[in-house]
Structure 1
Amino acid sequence: MTTIAFVGLGAMGAPMAENLVKRQFRVVGFDMRKEAREALVAAGGHEADSAAAAAKGADTLVLMVVNAAQARAVLFEGGALEALAPGACVVLMATCSPGDVEAIAAEVERSGRSFVDAPVSGGVAGARGGTLTIMVGATAETLARARPVLDALGDKVFHVGGKPGQGATVKTVNQLLCGVHIAVAAEALSLAQKAGIDGATLFEIMGGSAASSWMLKDRGQRMLAEDPPVSSAVDIFVKDLGIVLDAGRAAKAALPLAAAAHQMFLAASGLGHGGRDDSHVVRAYRALNPRADNDA
């Protein structure tokens, strides 16, 4: 039985690891939170008390961590890379900058292990349903080895390029569009409410018009709720749009809309909403455009 070490049992990582268990992989998970490890055990997996312990002798290491710094800490400082079986595969599924991914891949490959750059899109719902979109940058041979694991996690696996960093580039473009779509939906709602238009009516109309987008339909209703469940936090888009802008600087590409959206997510975070659902970016607009009824 293939043994998979899974590091990062958060809102998306936990259901992803559980889907691997359901596909009959032996999954050994690690997360800093004990309750997350216990939940994996309850689902039929195994827990470890460190990333290195989870990786010991494993054939594949899946990293669903927050950023490149955490990936480096797990692999190199925490000893997970050297604990893997010789010739094992490291699958990095977190959203990281293309340059960071290339550098991490080079270090992994120097150890004799293979590397798959495989960021995902689809959110918590996609993680739970095994319907994630996975953007892969890796050689065809390496992808073939990792394919059973990826197919257990997503139903849309795209081979976007033959080298690490190319998957991260596509995810960067994806996050540019997502962040701008959420911010502009909040801006539209702010304008409408300032003029006395009911938000629910607005989104019902816009959702069926040429102005619609997946993000407008998904986040719009959550902007109307007082404290919706966290699907993706405001601070995630602070990070991800920061990656977008870094990529733009590296390519000398002007990204004015991404920069504006980044500022609004930063403002929402500064208002104390960093850990709340990313639809709370609307609170930054409400701070700029207070309504007469003071409904914030």
Structure 2
Amino acid sequence: MKIGFIGLGVMGAPMARNLAAGGHALLTSLNRSPLPDDLPAEVLDSAADVARQSEIIITMLPDTPDVEEVMLGEGGIVEGVQSTALVIDMSSISPIATEEFARAIRETGAGYIDAPVSGGEVGAKAASLTIMAGGAEQDFQRALPIMQLMGKNITLVGTANGSGQTCKIANQIIVALNIEAVSEALVFAAKAGCDPAKVREALLGGFASSRVLDVHGERMISRSFAPGFRIGLHQKDLGLALDSARKLGVALPNTATTQELLNACSARGGAGKDHSALIEALELLANNAISTEKA
């Protein structure tokens, strides 16, 4: 199958490699990221050109304006997409904007699935991503064999476009608040004179155990903040959460607090660090770093 893949960044490149390994021919139009040397893909001039030649078009872009430009801008997908094609947006963006993009694509006769992912760069490389989809059942079934080359836990959250994005926002709220909770616990323990590594080890055997405590707790202690998922991107996602909650009339008090901690990290030059570096904001407030170890 000819698959157009636009957005070959930290997540998109390994996802595209898995599609190529599955035997599919890849087409792309380069935005900010260059074509990786080991990725067999034909580079075309525009997203519209990619869409004209592709049976399925996948986008994996950083933010809502990026997707809008690629979907609806000059030389965008909507200009070239065939009525028999299927567009799968795997970016994490606004559910409300997603409805607009889906409507524009569906007016051409093509199908549209919003299918944001969770699992980070590690999951992208291992083809073990969690994929949260929104769209018509027939479009989901058509997309499923392709998504199975990139992920393991694949769920059609709802048949309305935007459902997948809403689920991803819920995911990002949970992840952010877990990171904040682990950060608070380790800062508290270290300030009290305990070894945070031993505290983490003990907690992994109890009800407080979590994937965040396991993976990101170790990052916090070893100071391994090379980005798997950048603070700047999590800021964006929590911004989407708070914006959507405001429109829905829903209070998200702890999400708002965690966003402020991410804002503090970003203000100090940490937007490009892994989101586990949120602990640095709490360490600053406590005037106590839990570790000075360098990985």
What is the TM-score when the length of structure 2 is the normalising length? 0.93
Q: Which runs of 5+ in 2 are unaligned?
A: none
Match of 1:251?
248
Instruction: Give the one of 221, 232, 235 matched to 2:232.
Output: 235
Partner of 1:67: 63
Distance 2:216 2:292 in 1: 19
- Which residue identity lines up with residue 52 of structure 2 in the other structure? K
Alignment equivalent of 1:91, drawn from 85, 88, 91? 88
Q: Give, in whole Å, the separation in 2 of the partners of 1:125 and 1:288.
A: 31
State the number of aligned residues: 292
Q: Deviations over 1:222-246 (max 9, x none)?
A: 1122343210011111111111111
SS of the residue corresponding to residue 163 of structure 1 reads: coil
Inter-partner Cα distance in structure 1 for 2:84 and 2:223: 50
Give 1:33 deviation, angstroms: 4.5
Are 1:54 and 2:50 an aligned pair?
yes
Counterpart contact for 1:95–1:119, Cα < 8 Å: yes
> Does the CA contact (< 8 Å) of 2:5 and 2:16 recur in 1?
yes
Change (3 A) 1:119 1:203: same
Structure 1 residues 146 and 287, CA gap change in structure 2 (3 angstroms): same
- Per-residue CA distance 1:102-122 (angstroms, 9 max, x = gap): 111111111222100111111
Q: Which residue number corresponds to residue 25 of structure 1?
A: 24
Deviations for 1:254-284, whole angstroms, at most 9, x for unmatched residues? 1111111111111111111000111111111
Range 45-54 or range 72-81, more displaced: 45-54
CA contact (8 A) 1:38 1:47 kept: no
Change (3 A) 1:236 1:94: same
SS in structure 2 of the partner of residue 134 of structure 1: strand
Kept in 2, the 8 Å contact 1:97–1:243? The answer is: yes
Shifted more, 136-145 versus 78-87: the winner is: 78-87
Q: CA deviation at 1:45?
A: 2.8
Name the residue aligned to 2:285.
Answer: 288
Match of 2:72 in 1: 76
Question: What letter matches 2:66 in structure 1?
Answer: Q
2:126 maps to 1:129: yes
Partner of 1:175: 172
Q: Which amino acid aligns with 1:151?
A: Q
Q: Corresponding residue for 2:272?
A: 275
Tell me by how many angstroms 1:10 deviates.
Answer: 1.0
Over the matched positions of the two proteins, sequence identity in percent amounts to: 33
Bigger mean CA deviation after superposition, 4-13 or 226-235:
226-235
Q: Deviations over 1:49-95 (max 9, x none)?
A: 44333333211110100111111101111322222233211101111
Name the CA distance, whole Å, in 1 between partners of 2:291 and 2:10.
33
SS of equivalent residue, structure 1 residue 95: coil
Counterpart of 1:4 in 2: which secondary structure?
A: strand
Task: Give 1:185's match in structure 2, choosing from 162, 182, 185.
Answer: 182
Offset at residue 135 of structure 1 (A): 1.0
> Structure 1 unaligned runs (5+)?
none
